[in-house]
Amino acid sequence: MGGLWTTAVDVPLFDMVAYFFGRYTVFTPFERAEHTLHHTTEAAEFAARDESTPSHTIVLEFEQRGPAASWVKFTQVGEMPEEQIELTRQGTSSYFDNLEKYLAG
């Protein structure tokens, strides 16, 4: 494995950009994907992409549910300040809600 991924998300509500990057560690098509997740709000840290910084593990498990439907389980594992947990849950839910709208056309 080892594919690097990166993304930046503009968060105007908090007047900031959230930067994320990581590396795929497992990829089994249509079954499972795992990758590390590093986060920063500093552009210079994002540019450096230091993979020795603390990270989370993201696990995506896929399952076919009928001829035109799939199920995906999203799991995030790692240490996080208590006050950040609900914000992370909301952000992840928003992402999947918007993905569903996009895929529905």
Domain boundaries, the chain: 4-104
Contact predicate 54/81, CB 8 Å: no
- Is beta strand 70-77 parallel, antiparallel or unpaired with respect to 4-11? unpaired
Give pLDDT tens digits for 53-102. 999 999 999 999 988 888 999 999 999 899 888 988 888 888 888 888 98
The CA-CA-CA angle for residues 68, 74, 78, to 5°, reads: 170
Q: Which helix (H) or strand (E) holds 85?
A: helix 82-104
**Residue-by-residue DSSP string for 31-64:** TEEEEEEEEES-HHHHHHT-TTS--EEEEEEEEE
Task: Look up residue 51 and give its amino acid.
Answer: E
Mean pLDDT of 12-37: 94
